[in-house]
Structures are given as structure tokens and as C-alpha cells.
Amino acid sequence: MAEKFEIRQHRHKVATARRRYEKVLETLAAAQHDLEAADAQLDLAQQSAEELQNRLRTAEEAAVQAESQLIRLTRE
């Protein structure tokens, strides 16, 4: 009788451990999904930052040209 109880108890422990393991796997899968989404958002943010840097560089170049033209015009 005690042997059957021990077997049932062991099976219960195994089933409980299996359920916990499956929950951990689900949590890991969700975390992986969130990480991939965050990585995609980071890529978009980096692209936007690069685009803004290019616009700033263009604006700075235009300002330098405008300043040079203004200096030339005021000398004439």
C-alpha cells in the first residue's frame, strides 16, 4: 500500500514539475517575442535618428552656404 502511495506521490510531483516547466517555456516564448518587438522598435528608432542626423547636416550645410552668400552680398 505504501508503495502505491509513493508511486502516486511521485507521479504527482512529476506532473507538477512538468506544468511548471511548460509555464516557464511559455514565459520564455513571450519574453522572446517582446524582445524581438523591442529590437524592431530599436531598429526603427536608429533609422529615424540617422535620418534626423542627415537632415541636420543638410541644414547646417545650407546655413553655411547662406552665411557665405550673405557675407559676399554685404561686401558688394
Residue-level pLDDT at 1: 79
Residue-level pLDDT at 51: 98
- Which segments of the chain have a pLDDT < 70? none
Its domain, for residue 27, covers: 1-75
Distance of alpha carbon 37 from alpha carbon 57, whole angstroms = 30
Residue-level pLDDT at 59: 98
Distance of alpha carbon 63 from alpha carbon 49, whole angstroms = 21
Torsion, Cα 8 13 14 18, to 10 degrees, reads 140
Count of domains for the chain: 1
Three cell numbers written together for 34: 517582446
Distance of alpha carbon 46 from alpha carbon 67, whole angstroms = 31
pLDDT one-digit tens code per residue, 18-38: 999 999 999 999 999 999 999
